[in-house]
Amino acid sequence: MIAPKKISITINGQVCEGEQGQTILEIARANNIYIPTLCYMKGLTPWGGCRLCIVEVEGNPKVVPSCATPAVDGTKITTHNDRLVALRKATLELLFSERNHICPICPYNKGDCGLQHQGLAHGITGIRYPYLYPALPVDVTGRYFGIDHNRCILCTRCIRTCDEIEGVHTLDVSSRGIKNQIVVDMNTTFGASDTCTQCGACVVSCPTGALFDKAAAFRGQWTSSVQILTTCTECPVGCGLKVHTKENRIVNVWGDPDSPVNTGHLCVKGRYQTWAEPRDRITTPLIKGQPATWDEALAAIKKAAKVKKAEKALLVAPRVTNETAAAIAGVAGKFGQTAMFVGANEAALCAEPSFTGDALRKLQDADAIIVLGAQPTRDNGVVASRIRVAVRKRGAKLLIFHARKSELDRHADVAANVVSLESKLWNKVKAALAGAQRPAIVYGPNAMTPIGVTVMERLIAIFEANTGGSEPLLIGLPVSANALAMSRAGIPAVEEVGPWLDAKPLKFLHIVVGDALDGGAGLLEEKYVPALLERIDCLVVQASYKSALTDKASVVLPATIWCEKTGTVTNLEGRELPLRPVVTVAGEARDDKAILESVYA
Ligand code: SF4
Ligand code: SF4
Ligand code: SF4
Ligand code: FES
C-alpha cells in the first residue's frame, strides 16, 4: 500500500502536519486546535450540515465547513475571528428557535447536551429570531429508548450511525425544509419497526436529548459519571463496555471505543439487556426457599454431599470466567460427572476449540462472507453488524446457509436452507464467490451436523477452485459466552442434559448457573429434565437471578453478576479480556469461584 502524501497547513498561525485526504478538522484536532462541531462524529462520513465548524481559508471569500473540507497543502486557515463567531452564533440561535429546546425538562440538561454546551460557550442568552414552537411527536414505543423530535437538530448523526455502523439504515429524514423530520423505516415507530435491532448506537450518537435511553433518563449526567471499562459476557464476541455509574449504580452502558473487538459498538444484549430489564436478584443464601446464612447453607451442602462420588454431579453454564473454569476443573475429581450445558450441536464446536485472531476486523474487510449454521443477528449482534456493513458499504457478497430464516437474509445474494441445497443453487454459489480475494466463513453450531459438514467441505472446495486458491478465513461462532475457553480448561460439553442426568442415579447435583439472565430456567425446558431433577435428593443452584430452577433447589447460593466480577474471559478471537467490578457486590452474593472453593476445595 502506498503511504499517503504528507501535507502541511497553517492553522491560526501554527504549522500543522497532516496527510493528503484528511479534512481541515481532522488535522486541527490532531494538532490540539479546537473547532466547535455538532453534526461531525469521528468514524462517520462527514455531512457538513450544521455549519458550526466553519473556518476561513486564505484566498477564499466564503467560509467552509472544516469537517467536510479536505485540507490542501500550504493553505492558511483561520478557525476563530469575529466573523466566524458571529456566524456560529446565528446558526445556534436558528437551531434553538426552530424546535422546543426546553432544557429543564430534558434528560441531557446541565452538561450532556452538545447544543446546550455550544450555546453556553458562545454566550447565547437570548434568541433574536421568533420561536417556531412546532408541535412535534415523541415516540416512546421502543423498549429501551425513545425520540423526542422537539429536541432534534437534524444533524443526521443517528442516521449515519445506523447506516454505517449497525448497517441497517432504519433511520432517515422525511419531508423538506422546516418539515424535515427523522423517520423510522417508512415512517413508523421504533416499537413497530421491523429493521431496528435496538442496538442503541443512534442514541449514543445523538448530541442532544432527542434520542434518549429510557433507563438512563434522569439518573444523572453521563458526563460526570464514573466510567469503568469491562467486558460483555453475553456472547463469545467479548465486546468492550464503558459502564457509567453514579453512587454505586449503573446509569448507562456504552461500548468502549478503544476496544479492538467492537470499537465502541454493542448489540442490544450488551447495551441494554444486562441492566435495563427488571430481574429478581438473589442476595442471600436460601435453604428450601428460606433465607439462611452462608455458614448454614455451606453446612447443609457439605452434609448432603456425603454420598458416593458416583452419585454426585456438577453441571455448569458455559459462561463462567476463566478463573472459575480452572476452579471447576480443579474440583471435578470430587464428582462422578462434571459438564457444561451447551446448545444443540454446540458440543462439537467446543470439542476442538479454535480461535480466530482479529476475526472481527478481518470480517468487515472480507469481500465474500458465508454464514453457515449460525444466527449472528440473534446470538452475536456485533458480528451481524460487521457482516451487514461489509455487504452494504463494501459490496461484499453474502451467502447464508441455515435451516432458519433471519433478518440477515434480506442482505444476502444467496440464502438457502442447509438441508435442501439443489445443484442449480450451487451454480449460483459458485457465481457469487467467483473472484473473491478475502473470503470468510462464519460457522455456528449447526455447521457441525453431517449436512453442515458436507456443505462446509463443498464450499471450501469451491473457494479452492474458484477464488484463485484464497484460503477462507474461518470464524467459529458458538452461542455460549465462554464455552471455548471452558472446553480448553477441560470441562466437557453436554447438549442433552436429560440423558446426562439419567446416565447414573444421582443423589446430589450442583448447578452453576452464575449470572445467566434467565436464572437457569432454560434448563427446565429440556425434555425429561424437570422430572429428573425431582428425583435428586439435594439440588444446589448457584445463581444470580430467581427463576423456576432456583425455586426447585434445596439450597440456593447467590452469585455475583457481570458488573461485580473480577477475572477474565476469552473471546472467539482468543483474546483474554478483563472483567472489572463496576459496582459493589449486591447483598451477600459471592464470586462463582470463591463459592466452589468454599464448598469443595
Ligand atoms: S437502535 Fe440501532 S438499529 Fe435501531 S435505529 Fe438505532 S442505530 Fe438503527
Ligand atoms: S435525533 Fe439526535 S442524532 Fe438524530 S438528527 Fe436529531 S439531533 Fe441528530
Ligand atoms: S455482540 Fe456479544 S459481546 Fe458484544 S455486546 Fe452483543 S452480546 Fe455482548
Ligand atoms: S460539524 Fe461540520 S458542518 Fe457540522
- Domain 352-476, classified CATH 3.40.228.10, yes or no: yes
Ligand nearest to the CA of 198: 1
Number of Cα atoms under 13 Å in the Cβ half of residue 482: 32
Query: Residue 158 C-alpha to ligand 1 middle, in angstroms?
Result: 8
Which residue is closest in CA terms to ligand 2's atom 7?
Answer: 152
Q: Which fold has domain 134-273?
A: Alpha-Beta Plaits (3.30.70)
Which residue is closest in CA terms to ligand 2's atom 8?
Answer: 155
Evaluate: CB of 155 within 6 angstroms of ligand 2. Answer: yes
CATH architecture of the domain covering 286-343+483-600: 3-Layer(aba) Sandwich (3.40)
pLDDT of residue 470: 67
Which residue is closest in CA terms to ligand 2's atom 6?
Answer: 152
Contacts (Cβ under 8 Å, ≥6 apart) of 306: none
Evaluate: CB of 153 within 6 angstroms of ligand 2. Answer: yes
The C-alpha R_g of the chain, in whole angstroms, comes to: 28
pLDDT digits 0-9 by tens, 570-584: 999 999 999 999 999
To the nearest 10 degrees (0 to 180), the angle between helices 294-304 and 592-600 is 50
Evaluate: CB of 38 within 6 angstroms of ligand 2. Answer: no
Quick check: pTM over 0.75? yes
| Ligand 4 binding pocket mutation candidate from 23, 47, 69, 117 (most atoms within 8 A of CB) | 47
Evaluate: CB of 267 within 6 angstroms of ligand 3. Answer: yes
pLDDT digits 0-9 by tens, 303-349: 999 999 999 999 999 999 999 999 999 999 999 999 999 999 999 99
- Report which ligand 3 atom has the smallest distance to the Cα of 231: 3
- Report which ligand 1 atom has the smallest distance to the Cα of 205: 7
pLDDT digits 0-9 by tens, 455-504: 888 888 888 887 666 678 999 999 999 999 999 999 999 999 999 999 98
Task: Please indicate whether the domains covering 286-343+483-600 and 352-476 agree at the CATH topology level.
Answer: no
Query: Residue 50 C-alpha to ligand 4 middle, in angstroms?
Result: 5
- Grid cell locating 489: 480448561
What residues in the chain have per-residue pLDDT under 70?
Answer: 1, 418-421, 467-470
Ligand nearest to the CA of 49: 4
- Of 27, 51, 28, the C-alpha closest to 40 is 51
Ligand nearest to the CA of 168: 1
pLDDT of residue 99: 96
Element (H, E) at 25: helix 24-30
pLDDT of residue 469: 63
| Distance (Å, whole) CA 390 – CA 384 | 10
pLDDT of residue 28: 98
Evaluate: CB of 265 within 6 angstroms of ligand 3. Answer: no
| Ligand 1 binding pocket mutation candidate from 161, 202, 214 (most atoms within 8 A of CB) | 202
Query: Residue 78 C-alpha to ligand 4 middle, in angstroms?
Result: 16
Look at the block and give the residue holding cell 467536510. Answer: 68
For residue 284, the cross-strand partners are none
- Give residues (CB < 6 A) around ligand 4: 37-40, 48-53, 65, 67
Domain ranges for the chain: 6-80, 134-273, 286-343+483-600, 352-476
DSSP secondary structure string for all residues of 531-570: HHHHT-SEEEEEESB--HHHHH-SEEEEB--GGG--EEEE
- Report which ligand 3 atom has the smallest distance to the Cα of 380: 1
Q: Which fold has domain 6-80?
A: Ubiquitin-like (UB roll) (3.10.20)
